């Protein structure tokens, strides 16, 4: 529900001749009539006459409490106490101010009853402490405090509000209403109680009753911002735009250009689907109220609609951290996670809404979508069926059910669902279209063609249908009929671009690029600034390795569409790929000048600057992006990554911690922070972050993998192995298993490690990464026969694997196996420019007496990898064998001076002494 925010209202007063007391009386009159802003003005006028008026300060603090301006209230109340107002009067009021400010721990620390506190004030203080405890997540202690307050004095309305909140937290909605009914019998705080009643009605899905309650509040207090906001929200949800507009204008009149005014305007803009304008209005809110939770929720929904899914997730996670399980936020977050291919996370998010008796059609449908994304069609069908049982006439839901069945190959159930959806919407063809697309995706082209025939009867003469038919024939590799279908679409509409593009794709497939080029040029002859045609020509020229022509088309596209990002992004990417950094920078700068408010353009400039080595400028751009989007995780992560690339570890640490303040369980930030702490030698901090990840995501492997890395860095391989094993119990992946084996081996558990990896490969003999790792492990451990055995198995499965051949050749040579040279020759033939294959073959040739060719190969290897000591040692041996002893001696002296501890150092010293 909407939260109010602190504002300040200043104004002119024509009653300059009034006395201090007259201003105070006028303030009280305004208060009695619910005109709280007028009351504030009068009290400020009184304080201009007498800044030391304790009464005016006290009353102003109380009015600020009513307008929910906590910081201002605390200031005035403390000043009133300094001017002589009794502490027993002021302390409960200061407690209210601290609650409004979110200073919950200060309430616990500072607002306590004393020996002389009256029963009424004691009860008030107890209920304030109860509310603070609730906000601190201490439900039981807070609820106990409310009961104590009621036992001391049962006439405090706020106590009943707290008891109602406790009941809601326990899902005891009837008891919550009973507490509110008790509160409404009390003469004090009637408006506040009615606000809670309105909130209760909202929670119970009674919008009309909620509107009535907020209306009663506004009769008593026309300036009540919270009631206005809640009524605006409900009216917009009900489609009552004009009624909402009246209240929005009232808020804007009361508080022009303030956070509340921008927020309610954002609500209207969102309802009107003007999402960019909604986003702009919300940024104005965040300038003064960065933690305003209703705006945070709306920002999440807006980012979702704009396709900014990471940003949406960031906002929604922040909101749900305060209001866990809130239905609307939970559903949007789940939808966002599905869009990001995070189906498991989406189902975890939806769990509170998926109770056995859930009637939430949207949540059930989203659960179906998430299950379908996991390719769990059976579970998806269960969720969709539950939703359809609640809302059997929902065509969109029936369409989803049909798609799910079809994706599982369940055509007997899928077809009727899509047919039912089509029957529910006779003027629409979405179900037919999706059915065709599903068939195409599954490569069931004949069934797609059959459905297209019925679709064509519904949409006669529609070129899109002919394009679908052409795509089906393309899938059948019947390119003649595919071309005929695309041409039929053009016969209906000569400018139908999807048909033109499809024909061009056929031309390219048939190796006729000139024909494809002519088609796109034909589009441009009629529509000279057609963006997609120009981009297609740029792509065509890139495929033809005609970089100048590709650049020319991208430049034309950019010039014709000054505000289009895609041609500029592709230009910058192309220039960076060609290492033409000044040109990339020029385009990026032009883009930002053309689109000064575009965050994508700013990000593009930072990318170009970093590639060009303009580290300071890249950092400045990343900082600007982060400043413009202070609550956007993606922008803050870009800044952190830029800082890391510049070696600014301390700054990156601060930025990453800021990300985790915005979204405490954001895994990419946590993983980056763990890596940073490991590189900084702060393994204790790395472990702390890794364990936070485990608590936040107990079903994710990420936290355990990070702990394993940190434990290895801390030289605790046994603990690392334990962490990797925990990850394996969650998800058995070969990469994790390899990490476990490394840690177990380092911990000295050689027998266990060997046994486990043997069992793994027995169960999964084709697991190449594990077998390749094991072969290398045996090789490094000088277990040569076992390494040979593993490489021979690999080559049975992958006979042209150059790396395996090269390593096997080296192992054969160690064993004096005559197969060494032939194996090395094959590896070299497959990868002739690789330093490893050159060195291995060269070394074998040296040992077999073919020194001249061996020397040449090793020299080639050293030219590719000049800084590897083993290669330089081999070069010295080759030089010595071919009679170049002076060169060999110089090579060895230089090598030993630079690298005194490489594996062949002892042999190098012996050779040097012999020369």
Q: Model confidence over 345-357: pLDDT tens digits?
A: 899 999 999 888 8
The pLDDT score that the predictor gives to residue 255 is 81
- Give one DSSP letter per residue of 761-817, joined into a string: HHH-TT-HHHHHHHHHHHHHTT-HHHHHHHHHHHHHH-TT-HHHHHHHHHHHHHTT-
Instruction: Give buried/exposed letters for 200-237 (b at 16+ CB in 10 A, else e).
Output: bbbeeeebeebbebbebbbeebbbbbbbbbbbbbbbbe
Across the range 713-723, mean pLDDT stands at 95
Across the range 295-308, mean pLDDT stands at 91
One-letter-per-residue 3-state SS of 823-867 = HHHHHHHHCCCCHHHHHHHHHHHHHCCCHHHHHHHHHHHHHHCCC
The Cα–Cα gap between 861 and 875 comes to: 9
The Cα–Cα gap between 309 and 329 comes to: 14
pLDDT band at 664 (very low <50, low <70, confident <90, very high): confident
Across the range 611-627, mean pLDDT stands at 87
Pair 352, 330: CB distance under 8 Å: yes
What are the structure tokens assigned to 799, written together? 């006979």
The pLDDT score that the predictor gives to residue 838 is 96
The pLDDT score that the predictor gives to residue 205 is 86
Pair 553, 534: CB distance under 8 Å: yes
308-322, 703-717, 836-850 — which is least confidently predicted?
308-322
477-486, 598-607, 725-734, 772-781 — which is least confidently predicted?
598-607
Pair 158, 146: CB distance under 8 Å: no
**Max intra-chain CA distance, the chain:** 115
The pLDDT score that the predictor gives to residue 130 is 93
Q: Model confidence over 777-801: pLDDT tens digits?
A: 999 999 999 999 999 999 998 999 9
Instruction: Give buried/exposed letters for 795-811 (b at 16+ CB in 10 A, else e).
Output: beeeeebbbbbbbbbbb
309-323, 616-630, 721-735 — which is least confidently predicted?
616-630
Alpha helices in 85-206 (DSSP H): 87-101, 104-110, 119-135, 139-152, 157-169, 173-184, 190-203
Across the range 418-428, mean pLDDT stands at 59
Pair 92, 73: CB distance under 8 Å: no
Rounded CA Rg of the chain: 36
Q: Quick one: CATH architecture of 838-914?
A: Alpha Horseshoe (1.25)
The pLDDT score that the predictor gives to residue 218 is 92
The pLDDT score that the predictor gives to residue 16 is 56
The pLDDT score that the predictor gives to residue 300 is 94
Across the range 679-698, mean pLDDT stands at 90
Q: When comparing pLDDT for 622 and 715, which is higher?
A: 715
The pLDDT score that the predictor gives to residue 650 is 94
Q: Element (H or E) spanning 722, and its range? A: helix 717-730
The CA-atom distances, in angstroms, between 757 and each of 355, 772, 778, 791 are: 42, 12, 12, 15
Q: When comparing pLDDT for 101 and 432, which is higher?
A: 101
The pLDDT score that the predictor gives to residue 402 is 67
The pLDDT score that the predictor gives to residue 135 is 85
The CA-atom distances, in angstroms, between 685 and each of 668, 672, 692, 703, 712 are: 16, 12, 11, 13, 14
CATH number for 269-350: choose from 3.50.50.60, 3.30.565.10, 1.25.40.10, 3.30.420.40: 1.25.40.10
Write out the residue limits of the CATH 1.25.40.10 domain(s) in the chain. Answer: 269-350, 838-914
The pLDDT score that the predictor gives to residue 375 is 63
Q: When comparing pLDDT for 768 and 400, which is higher?
A: 768
The pLDDT score that the predictor gives to residue 414 is 60
Residue (of 517, 595, 589) closest to 561 by Cα position: 595
Q: What are phi and psi of 273, to 5 degrees?
A: 65, 25
The percentage of the chain sitting over the pLDDT mark of 90, rounded to a whole number, equals 48
Q: What are phi and psi of 69, to 5 degrees?
A: -105, 85
One-letter-per-residue 3-state SS of 43-100 = HHHHHHHCCCCHHHHHHHHHHHHHCCCHHHHHHHHHHHHHCCCCHHHHHHHHHHHHHH
The Cα–Cα gap between 280 and 816 comes to: 74
CA 390 to chain centre: 32
- Give one DSSP letter per residue of 98-115, joined into a string: HHHHT-HHHHHHH----T
- The answer on pLDDT for 603 being more than 60 is yes
The percentage of the chain sitting over the pLDDT mark of 70, rounded to a whole number, equals 93
Residue (of 828, 838, 826) closest to 870 by Cα position: 838
Pair 99, 70: CB distance under 8 Å: yes
Across the range 694-722, mean pLDDT stands at 91
Alpha helices in 340-478 (DSSP H): 343-350, 361-373, 377-390, 395-407, 411-424, 430-441, 445-458, 463-475
The Cα–Cα gap between 613 and 78 comes to: 55
29-38, 247-256, 871-880 — which is least confidently predicted?
29-38
- The answer on pLDDT for 6 being more than 50 is no
The CA-atom distances, in angstroms, between 396 and each of 305, 381, 732, 830 are: 18, 14, 37, 55
What are the structure tokens assigned to 189, written together? 């705080």
- The answer on pLDDT for 776 being more than 70 is yes
- How many other C-beta atoms are found inside a 10 Å radius of the C-beta of residue 494? 12
- How many other C-beta atoms are found inside a 10 Å radius of the C-beta of residue 773? 20
The pLDDT score that the predictor gives to residue 11 is 33
- The answer on pLDDT for 706 being more than 90 is yes
Q: Model confidence over 547-586: pLDDT tens digits?
A: 889 989 999 998 888 878 889 989 998 888 888 999 999 9
Pair 721, 707: CB distance under 8 Å: no
The pLDDT score that the predictor gives to residue 36 is 79
Q: Model confidence over 155-168: pLDDT tens digits?
A: 999 999 999 999 98
The Cα–Cα gap between 853 and 408 comes to: 60
Across the range 235-248, mean pLDDT stands at 89
Q: Element (H or E) spanning 539, and its range? A: helix 531-543
Residues 6+ apart with CB under 8 A from 453: none
- The answer on pLDDT for 367 being more than 60 is yes
pLDDT band at 427 (very low <50, low <70, confident <90, very high): low
78-92, 379-393, 429-443, 504-518 — which is least confidently predicted?
429-443
CA 324 to chain centre: 18
Tell me how many degrees the CA angle 413-417-418 measures, rounded to the nearest 5: 120
Q: Which of 66-80, 223-237, 714-728 has the highest mean pLDDT?
A: 714-728
Across the range 330-336, mean pLDDT stands at 94
Cβ-in-10-Å burial (0-12, 13-18, 19+) of 358 comes to middle
Pair 784, 814: CB distance under 8 Å: yes
DSSP letter, residue 884: -
52-66, 265-279, 409-423, 736-750 — which is least confidently predicted?
409-423
- The answer on pLDDT for 217 being more than 90 is yes
Q: When comparing pLDDT for 712 and 395, which is higher?
A: 712
State the chain's mean pLDDT as an integer: 87
- The answer on pLDDT for 443 being more than 50 is yes
The pLDDT score that the predictor gives to residue 423 is 59
The pLDDT score that the predictor gives to residue 12 is 35
What are the structure tokens assigned to 112, written together? 């306590």
The pLDDT score that the predictor gives to residue 743 is 95
What are the structure tokens assigned to 666, written together? 């954001």
pLDDT band at 200 (very low <50, low <70, confident <90, very high): very high
Pair 619, 628: CB distance under 8 Å: no
Positive or negative, the CA dihedral 71, 75, 78, 80 is negative
The pLDDT score that the predictor gives to residue 303 is 92
Residue (of 197, 201, 203) closest to 182 by Cα position: 197
pLDDT band at 297 (very low <50, low <70, confident <90, very high): very high
- The answer on pLDDT for 755 being more than 50 is yes
The pLDDT score that the predictor gives to residue 785 is 95
Positive or negative, the CA dihedral 233, 234, 240, 246 is negative
Q: When comparing pLDDT for 377 and 275, which is higher?
A: 275
């Amino acid at each position: 529900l909407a939260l109010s925010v602190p504002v300040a209202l200043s104004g002119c007063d024509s009653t300059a001749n009034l006395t201090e007391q007259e201003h105070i009386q006028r303030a009280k009159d305004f208060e009695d009539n619910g005109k709280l802003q007028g009351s504030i003005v009068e009290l400020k006028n009184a304080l201009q006459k007498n800044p030391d008026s304790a009464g005016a300060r006290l009353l102003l603090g109380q009015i600020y409490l009513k307008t929910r301006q906590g910081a201002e209230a605390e200031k005035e109340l403390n000043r009133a106490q300094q001017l002589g107002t009794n502490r027993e009067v002021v302390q409960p009021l200061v407690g209210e101010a601290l609650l409004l400010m979110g200073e919950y721990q200060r309430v616990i620390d500072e607002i306590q009853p004393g020996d002389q506190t009256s029963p009424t004030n004691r009860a008030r203080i107890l209920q304030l402490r109860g509310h603070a405890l609730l906000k601190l997540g201490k439900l039981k202690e807070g609820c106990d405090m409310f009961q104590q307050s009621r036992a001391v004095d049962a006439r405090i309305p706020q106590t009943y509000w707290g008891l109602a909140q406790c009941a809601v937290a326990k899902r005891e909605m009837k008891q919550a209403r009973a507490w509110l009914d008790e509160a409404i019998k009390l003469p004090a705080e009637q408006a506040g109680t009615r606000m809670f009643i309105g909130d209760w009605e909202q929670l119970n899905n009674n919008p009309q009753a909620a509107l009535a309650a907020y209306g009663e509040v506004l009769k008593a207090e026309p300036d009540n911002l919270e009631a206005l906001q809640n009524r605006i929200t409900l009216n917009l949800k009900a489609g009552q735009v004009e009624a909402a507009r009246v209240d929005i204008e009232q808020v804007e009149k009361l508080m022009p250009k303030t956070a509340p005014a921008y927020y309610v305007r954002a609500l209207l803009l969102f309802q009107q689907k003007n999402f960019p304008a909604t986003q702009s209005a919300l940024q104005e809110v965040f300038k003064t109220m960065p933690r305003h939770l209703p705006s945070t929720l709306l920002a999440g929904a807006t980012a979702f609609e704009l396709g900014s899914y990471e940003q949406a997730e960031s906002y929604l996670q922040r909101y749900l951290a305060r209001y866990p399980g809130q239905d609307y936020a939970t559903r949007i977050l789940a939808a966002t996670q599905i869009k990001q291919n995070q189906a498991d996370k989406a189902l975890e998010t939806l769990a509170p809404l998926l109770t056995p008796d859930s009637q939430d059609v949207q949540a059930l449908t989203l659960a179906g979508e998430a299950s379908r994304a996991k390719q769990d069609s059976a579970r998806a069908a269960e969720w969709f069926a539950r939703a359809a049982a609640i809302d059997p006439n929902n065509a969109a839901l029936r369409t989803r059910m049909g798609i799910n069945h079809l994706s599982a190959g369940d055509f007997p159930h899928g077809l009727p669902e899509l047919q039912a959806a089509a029957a529910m919407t006779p003027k629409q063809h979405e179900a037919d279209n999706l059915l065709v697309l599903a068939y195409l995706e599954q490569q069931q082209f004949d069934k797609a063609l059959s459905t297209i025939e019925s679709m064509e009867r519904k949409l006669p003469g529609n070129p899109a249908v002919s394009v679908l038919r052409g795509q089906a024939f393309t899938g059948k590799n019947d390119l003649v009929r595919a071309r005929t279908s695309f041409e039929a679409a053009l016969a209906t509409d000569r400018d139908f671009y999807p048909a033109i593009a499809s024909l061009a794709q056929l031309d390219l497939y048939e190796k006729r690029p000139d024909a494809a080029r002519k088609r796109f040029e034909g589009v441009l002859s009629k529509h000279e600034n057609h963006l997609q045609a120009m981009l297609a020509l740029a792509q065509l020229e890139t495929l033809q390795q005609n970089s100048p022509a590709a650049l020319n088309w991208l430049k034309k596209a950019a010039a014709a569409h000054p505000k289009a990002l895609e041609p500029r992004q592709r230009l910058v990417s192309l220039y960076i790929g060609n290492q033409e950094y000044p040109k990339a920078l020029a385009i990026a700068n032009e883009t930002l000048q053309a689109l000064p408010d575009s965050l994508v353009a700013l990000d593009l400039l930072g990318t170009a600057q970093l590639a060009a080595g303009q580290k300071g400028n890249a950092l400045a751009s990343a900082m600007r992006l982060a400043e413009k989007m202070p609550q956007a995780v993606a922008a803050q992560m870009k800044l952190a990554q830029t800082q890391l690339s510049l070696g600014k570890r301390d700054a990156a640490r601060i930025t990453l911690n800021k990300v985790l303040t915005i979204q405490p369980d954001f895994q990419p930030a946590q993983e980056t922070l763990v890596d940073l702490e490991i590189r900084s030698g702060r393994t204790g901090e790395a472990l702390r972050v890794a364990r936070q990840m485990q608590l936040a995501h107990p079903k994710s492997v990420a936290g355990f993998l990070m702990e394993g890395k940190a434990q290895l860095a801390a030289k605790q391989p046994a603990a690392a192995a334990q962490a990797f094993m925990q990850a394996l119990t969650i998800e058995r992946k070969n990469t994790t298993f390899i990490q476990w084996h490394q840690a177990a081996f380092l911990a000295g558990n050689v027998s266990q490690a060997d046994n486990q990896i043997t069992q793994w490969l027995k169960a999964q003999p084709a697991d190449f990464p594990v077998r390749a790792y094991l072969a290398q492990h045996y090789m490094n451990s000088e277990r040569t026969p076992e390494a040979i055995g593993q490489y021979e198995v690999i080559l049975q499965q992958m006979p042209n694997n150059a790396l395996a051949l090269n390593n096997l050749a080296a192992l054969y040579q160690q064993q004096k196996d005559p197969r060494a040279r032939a194996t090395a020759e094959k590896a070299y033939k497959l990868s002739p420019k690789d330093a490893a294959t050159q060195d291995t073959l060269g070394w074998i040739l040296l040992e077999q007496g073919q020194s001249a060719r061996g020397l040449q190969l090793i020299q080639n290897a050293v030219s590719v990898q000049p800084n590897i000591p083993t290669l330089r040692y081999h070069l010295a041996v080759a030089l010595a064998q071919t009679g170049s002893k002076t060169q060999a001696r110089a090579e060895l002296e230089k090598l030993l001076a630079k690298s005194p501890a490489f594996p062949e150092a002892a042999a190098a010293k012996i050779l040097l002494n012999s020369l």
